[in-house]
Amino acid sequence: MVSPESNQTPKSSPTTIDQPTRLSMEGICKRFGATVALEDVNLEVRSGEVHALVGENGAGKSTLMRILSGATSPDRGSMRLDGRIFAPAHPLDARRHGIAMIYQELSLAPHLSVMENILLGMEPCYGGFIRWSQMRRRAQEALSELGLGDLPLESPVRALPPGLQQMVEIARALVTQAKVVVLDEPTSSLAQDDVAKLFRLVRRLRDRGLSVIYISHFLEEVKEISDRFTVLRDGHSVGTGLTAATPVNQIVQMMVGREVTDLYPRRARVRGEVILEVKTLSGNDKPKDVSLSLHRGEILGIAGLIGSGRTDLLRAIFGLAPVRRGEIRVGAFHGWSEPGKRWRQGVGYVSEDRKREGLAVGLSISANVTLPRLDHLGPLWFVLPKRERHAAEHWIDTLGIKCERPGQPVWTLSGGNQQKVALSRLLYADVDVLILDEPTRGIDVGSKAQIYRLIAQAAEGSPEYGARPKAILMVSSYLPELLGLCDRIGVMCRGQLVACAPVDDWTEHKLMLAATGQNIGIVNQQ
């Protein structure tokens, strides 16, 4: 990742410290309904510095940046840009003031040419007609300044590789006279030499006196590129400092240091036979050569950063994503199966994205619960609404789903109750293997505790949820939850399962190190 050449360049110019403040965000608070996204967050960025913003998934980085970009407004707190009060009404307003956002998902118009993209929205015009010669000149200037003078101006952006597309976006920031450039996970889709190129570019921006806010999970990148850093944790800013003077360990400590609460029911569980076995499984891109085995009565957690291939692994197992190599065995069944067959083999899946994929939110609770298994709700091909309602009522009662009636559309429920509907689908279908992707994302603490109890009960097996213990494969970004709930935890990094060990061998610190690609001496143990 780190090229020797770039290692030797000074990490920060000594003058950085004395630079005037470019942007300050003070006491920012933001709530979404009952959840607190940001609480009293401070961020101060100087001109001519690269400022890293780090934190776990869900720590509030994106919300903070959405506020900066004018996409949403803070409930409290203030922002200053170059000493003046800065309160963007909408994203365009923020752009006019010199805030340039470069997101993970590129925001280019793929069919337009490179120069059209660079000058999009500010084309040099003369009486309504575009002045192409001037457009070409200005685009060329911006690209040359970035050392990309050889980029073809006329070719459509979609013809470029992702790395170069990102450069085009940065060139656009330059043309718009940006003062603050925000790079959100810029390297997640880049190959290694593109990363080195990007870093050179970022340094060039810095040397021109721009402020760069650099968001990344990869701490080694943060170490290499940034001058200072700020850590967010659970919506609070917990620390800021000089990157060169702070060891990685200390940054990780800031990222994860929270009190462990007693949310997690933990009882001794009996590990039964192997029920799901995956051998050297590879998808189109991710996962890469993942092997694992899951026993009845066991909760196996998968940690890893977003984009590490966790979800892709689950989807490949469940048949929602293609498989290129490797073996999957579920009970007596070998090979890849489509989701319909997986349900019949006794495997169920809860999606990480409730609204887009997990639930048909326009349909009723009962329709959502019973969808994977309608065959015993009536004779032949019939589905009797009465039986369907009874089935749904049973799970509404046992899971304590707060609702008025089974026929109520799912979108009227709170997030926690929606998630219970998604989970009850697996219990209703009476599957043996529960594949859960972020089962507690975006729900309140009370519902989380209930869902933990449910998962634990399913693993232990109780008459209430079907007598036999079930096997659970669970992905989560929330490390305390994995440590509290799982029997074993595996960590994924860049598509591979880099470490898998009993939960007692893990700490949040170690999980974070493994997920960010550090070697921690834990290997795969089955």
Partner 1 sequence: MNESPKDNMVDLRRKERWDASFLSTLGRFTALAVVFLFFAILVEGGKFYSPRNLENILRQSAVYATASLGMTMVIIAAGIDLSIGSIIALSLVTVAWILDYHYVAQTADGQSVTVYLVRQYPVLLPWMALLVGIAVGTIAGFVNGVTIVWLRLVPFIVTLGTMGIFRGLAKGLANEKDIYPHEDTWLTQLMDPTLTSQDVHWRMWILPPGVWILIAAAVFAAVLLRYTRLGRYMYAVGSNEETARLCGVPVGRVKVVTYTLAGFFGGLAGLMQFSFIGGIGQPTSAVAYELFVIAAVVIGGGSLMGGQGSILGSVIGALIITILYMGGQQMGWPKWVQEAVIGVIIIAAVVIDRLRQQKVT
Smallest distance, Å, CB 382 to partner 1? 5
Nearest distance, CB of residue 287 and partner 1, angstroms? 19
Q: Taking the mean position of all CA atoms in its chain, how far away is CA 185?
A: 10
CB 254, min distance to partner 1, A: 37
What letter would DSSP give residue 524?
Answer: B
- Closer of 211 and 370 to partner 1 (Cβ): 370
| 125 or 384: CB nearest partner 1 | 384
**Spatial CB neighbours of 36, under 8 Å, sequence gap ≥ 6:** 29, 30, 235
Chain positions 262 to 321 lying near partner 1, rule: CB under 8 A, are 320
Distance CA 501, CA 295 (A): 14
Query: Residue holding tokens 């507690």?
Result: 440
> What's 464's DSSP letter?
G
> Which of 160, 65, 216 is CA-nearest to residue 202?
216
Closer CB to partner 1, residue 301 or residue 358? 358
228 near partner 1, rule: CB under 8 A? no
- 93 vs 71: CA distance, rounded Å: 10
CA separation for the pair 285, 209 (Å, rounded): 38
> Are 214 and 202 a contacting pair, CB within 8 Å?
yes
| Cβ proximity to partner 1, 296 vs 425, nearer residue | 425
| CB-CB contact of 488 with 501 (8 Å) | yes
Binder of partner 1 out of 97, 271, 344, 441 (CB under 8 A):
344
Among 483, 466, 465, CA closest to 474: 483
Residue 118 Cα to chain centre, angstroms: 28
Instruction: Pick the closer one to partner 1 by CB: 109 or 384.
Output: 384
Q: How far is the CB of 433 from partner 1 (least distance, A)?
A: 14
Q: How far apart are CA 406 and CA 97, in angstroms?
A: 51
Q: Which of 36, 106, 371, 449 binds partner 1 (CB under 8 A)?
A: 371
- Which residue in the set 248, 306, 361, 520 belongs to the binding site for partner 1 (CB under 8 A)? 361
Choose, by CB under 8 A, the member of 146, 151, 183, 367 that binds partner 1.
367
Phi and psi at 468, nearest 5°, equal: -80, 145
Six-digit token pair at 291?
Answer: 């092997």
Site for partner 1 contains 441 (CB under 8 A): no
Whole-angstrom distance, CA of residue 155 vs CA of residue 111: 9
The residue (of 193 and 338) whose beta carbon lies closer to partner 1 is: 338
363 near partner 1, rule: CB under 8 A: yes
Q: Looking at beta carbons only, is 258 or 387 nearer to partner 1? A: 387
The stretch among 15-23, 26-34, 117-125, 337-345 that binds partner 1 (CB under 8 A) is 337-345
| C-beta of 186 vs 406, nearer to partner 1 | 406
Does residue 208 interact with partner 1 by CB under 8 A?
no
Question: Do residues 396 and 407 lie in contact, with contact meaning Cβ atoms separated by under 8 Å?
Answer: no
Taking CB under 8 A as the criterion, which residues in 188-207 touch partner 1?
Answer: none
Q: Which is nearer to partner 1, 67 or 436 (CB)?
A: 436
Pick between residue 125 and residue 360 the one whose CB is nearest to partner 1: 360
Cite the beta strand spans of 487-526 per DSSP E: 488-493, 496-502
Asked if 126 touches partner 1 (CB under 8 A), the answer is no
Residue type, 219: L
Q: Are 252 and 512 spatial neighbours (Cβ–Cβ below 8 Å)?
A: yes
Q: Which x/- pattern over 373-412 shows residues binding partner 1 (rule: CB under 8 A)?
A: -xx--x--xxxxx---x---x---x------xxxxx---x
Q: How far is the CB of 128 from partner 1 (least distance, A)?
A: 34
> What gap in Å lies between CA 231 and CA 253, rounded to an integer?
10
Q: Which residues contact 440 (CB under 8 A, 6 or more apart)?
A: 419, 447, 448, 451, 452, 476, 478, 481
359 binding partner 1? (CB under 8 A): yes
**Contact between 356 and partner 1 per CB under 8 A:** yes
Classified as helix, coil or strand, 473 is strand
In the complex, the smallest distance separating the C-beta of residue 351 from partner 1, rounded to whole angstroms, is: 6
**Minimum distance of partner 1 from residue 373's CB (angstroms):** 8
Q: List contacts with partner 1 (CB under 8 A).
A: 320, 338-344, 349, 351, 356-363, 367-368, 370-372, 374-375, 378, 381-385, 389, 393, 397, 404-408, 412, 425
